[in-house]
Amino acid sequence: MITYLLALAIVANPLSDKVESSITTYVQSHYAANRAQYQYNFKRINYSLFPEDFDSVSVLRIGKNSPVGNTVFTLGCYKADRIIKTVSVSVEISIIVDCLVANNPINVGDKFTDLVISKRAISCDNQLPIADISQLAGKQAKIYIQPGTPIFPSMCENIPLINPGDHINIVVEHGQIKVVAQGIARQKGGIGEKIRVTNLGSNRMIIAEVVDSTTVALK
């Protein structure tokens, strides 16, 4: 029985080597800018889908713009320089990056003060964690962040200059004409963010952009 299993493993290895090599080579040649490193999980590949006899395999296309995350590769199996079958396989890919990581718990509304640089394997395909501390200037935590967690842009928000209930000036400009009305903020917001405010003159709710700690602009 042991001899039989070993024989199966020996037969299976060349196939898995061909497939895995074609995928890693494709990713490294197409996406490994700035010496990016990737980590692969090939456990989802069903090798029984491949033909019994073929010379080589290559990646024809992938199902999205980035290889990171759960990525579907369409592979071409070649025999005598001719594709005899195409097979789609799913591979979980992570990118290894240096990023800012929370050293201690960070509560909602806290500034980012206790962070360390650490390597992490990231499998999120829509954003990468922050590596430059300067990107967190004027930011605070939008959610609770556990120790050891990489800091992603979606976890951050501008430190609000205006808070709900603050009395503010609503500025409207048309050419040389400038009108200022009194209002009350209904949302928090930092510079450049749009918040809901109530115009006390008309008692109407409007959306305006935060200019500073006392002013919003209707644009």
> With bands split at pLDDT 50, 70 and 90, how would you rate the model's confidence at 126?
confident
Please state which of the four CATH numbers 3.90.1210.10, 3.40.1110.10, 3.40.605.10, 3.30.70.3040 is assigned to the domain occupying 96-158.
3.90.1210.10
> With bands split at pLDDT 50, 70 and 90, how would you rate the model's confidence at 153?
very high
Is the pLDDT confidence value at 6 over 60? Answer: no
Is the pLDDT confidence value at 195 over 70? Answer: yes
Work out whether the CA dihedral 123, 34, 119, 109 comes out positive or negative.
negative
Arithmetic mean of pLDDT, 56-80: 94
> With bands split at pLDDT 50, 70 and 90, how would you rate the model's confidence at 215?
very high
> With bands split at pLDDT 50, 70 and 90, how would you rate the model's confidence at 150?
very high
- Residue 195 CA to residue 185 CA, distance in Å, equals 8
Arithmetic mean of pLDDT, 161-188: 95
Over residues 14-44, the pLDDT tens digits come to: 889 999 999 999 999 988 766 778 999 999 9
CB-based contacts of 203, cutoff 8 Å, min separation 6: none
| Domain boundaries defined on the chain | 2-94, 96-158, 167-218
CATH code for the domain defined by 167-218: 2.30.30.760
Nearest to 45 by CA among 105, 102, 90, 96: 90
Tokens of 100: 């800012």
* pLDDT for the residue numbered 74: 97
Is the pLDDT confidence value at 160 over 80? Answer: yes
* pLDDT for the residue numbered 34: 61
The helix or strand, by DSSP H or E, that contains position 62, with its residue range, turns out to be strand 56-62
Portion of the chain with pLDDT greater than 90, in percent: 80
Q: Report CA-CA distances (Å) from 194 to 44, 95, 171, 185, 191.
A: 44, 34, 13, 11, 9
What are the backbone dihedrals phi and psi of residue 80, each rounded to the nearest 5 degrees, phi first?
55, 50
Lowest mean pLDDT among 2-11, 37-46, 47-56, 64-73: 2-11
- Residue 214 CA to residue 170 CA, distance in Å, equals 9
* pLDDT for the residue numbered 27: 94
CB-based contacts of 186, cutoff 8 Å, min separation 6: 164, 195, 196, 197, 198, 205
Is the pLDDT confidence value at 11 over 60? Answer: no
* pLDDT for the residue numbered 76: 97
Query: For 8-46, what is the HEC assignment?
Result: HHHHHHHHHHHHHHHHHHHHHHHHCHHHCEEEEECCCCC
Which range, 35-39, 123-127, 157-161, has the best average confidence (pLDDT)?
Answer: 157-161
